[in-house]
Amino acid sequence: MSEPQLSRREAAFALAGAALAAGTATAAPAEPTPIIDTHLHLTEPRLPGAFEAPVQLGPFGKDDGEALDKFVKAIADEAKKAGLTKALCMPRFEVSDKDPLGIGDTLALAERIRGPKLYAVGLAHPERFDRDHLARVEDVLKEGKVKALKAYLGYLHYEPYSPGYRKYFHLASKYKVPVIFHCGDTFSRTAKVKYAHPLKIDEVAVDYPDTRFVIAHFGNPWLLDAAQVAYRNENVWIDLSAILIGEFFANKKKAALVKHEVARIKQAVAYVEDPTKFLFGSDWPLTPVAVYADFIRQVFPKEEHAAVFRTNAEDLFGL
């Protein structure tokens, strides 16, 4: 008898994990390996048409003291459960002369949170590539306040090789910060996924060999396409965040989904033939870090866990 199948939409909102796949949940990580999460959110992205996050994100005003306290505790709890020691925090789609990379609120929140070391990722804004704005961006990069730049492909209707992005690639190369591309499915009513196909990253990877690029979410559902881009370009990595998101309800259908998804990801990982190309990310708060880490552990042999969960990120982002 064939295993029960879920629709793509059902799969997108299922939450997978090794313990949950077996029908039980554990609060602690399956192994003590310290984790670096290369993809989480502290602040509301404010992207066009984006769906509401499952928890309130920053910024928090003076009247939101209780919400801020809950948020700080939530981050601390996630870190404790998952063994999370460091994380890269995605920017909001909002820049100004004082905050040209959209990281102000991220830095303010990071100072309030005790436990994991939190680093800011700056926004590569495809409509802000004038000389004055890029000069302000470079000033921030000189200070070392960001560990990467982020391009929200799909959410914004621009190709990765659009003129507005290209000048950011030069700065990224100069200051040795990778550029992270959102690729694959989106969490927005108005996004257009044709702009977020991972094959498009091949063009900029070839044109900018001295710039390092990251395909976020493994380009899901185009895993093999993303794998091909990473395989043939030495300057391309893959983050594994949010391939499954949402809430988990322990039942046989979801257990079958976990098995199916693990096999699907393993096939694409094997195609790349290089475990140093992969980065753990959760996309918290869309998925709990500890549970998602359990899911990703099933994809890689144990001897590769330290690389996928820690050392690849240390090397790539200079952590």
Provide the whole-model pTM: 0.90
Please give the C-alpha separations between residue 57 and each of 54, 204, 235, in angstroms, as whole numbers. Answer: 9, 32, 32
DSSP H/E element including 86:
strand 84-89
Q: How confident is the model at residue 247 (pLDDT cuts 50, 70, 90)?
A: low
Interacting residues of 179 by C-beta distance below 8 A, sequence separation 6+? 124, 148, 149, 150, 151, 168, 169, 172, 211, 212, 213, 214
298-303's contacts with Cβ under 8 Å and 24+ in sequence apart are: 298/18, 298/21, 298/258, 298/262, 299/240, 299/262, 299/265, 299/266, 299/269, 300/269, 300/275, 302/31
Q: How confident is the model at residue 314 (pLDDT cuts 50, 70, 90)?
A: very high
Whose structure tokens read 């003291």? Answer: 65
Q: How confident is the model at residue 20 (pLDDT cuts 50, 70, 90)?
A: very low
**What is the spatial distance between Cα 28 and Cα 290, in angstroms, rounded to a whole number?**
7
Q: How confident is the model at residue 27 (pLDDT cuts 50, 70, 90)?
A: very low
Residue 24's pLDDT is 33
pLDDT of 312 > 60? The answer is yes
Mean of pLDDT over the chain: 89
pLDDT of 9 > 70? The answer is no
Query: What is the average pLDDT across 150-158?
Result: 98
Domains of the chain with CATH codes:
8-317 (3.20.20.140)
pLDDT of 14 > 80? The answer is no
pLDDT of 47 > 80? The answer is yes
Tell me the per-residue pLDDT of 206-238, one tens digit each, with 9 for 90 and over: 999 999 999 999 999 999 999 999 999 999 999
Q: Are the CB atoms for 205 and 229 separated by under 8 Å?
A: yes
Q: How confident is the model at residue 246 (pLDDT cuts 50, 70, 90)?
A: low
Residue 241's pLDDT is 97
Q: How confident is the model at residue 5 (pLDDT cuts 50, 70, 90)?
A: low
Tell me the per-residue pLDDT of 184-203, one tens digit each, with 9 for 90 and over: 999 899 999 999 999 999 99
Q: How confident is the model at residue 316 (pLDDT cuts 50, 70, 90)?
A: very high
Query: What is the average pLDDT across 92-116?
Result: 94
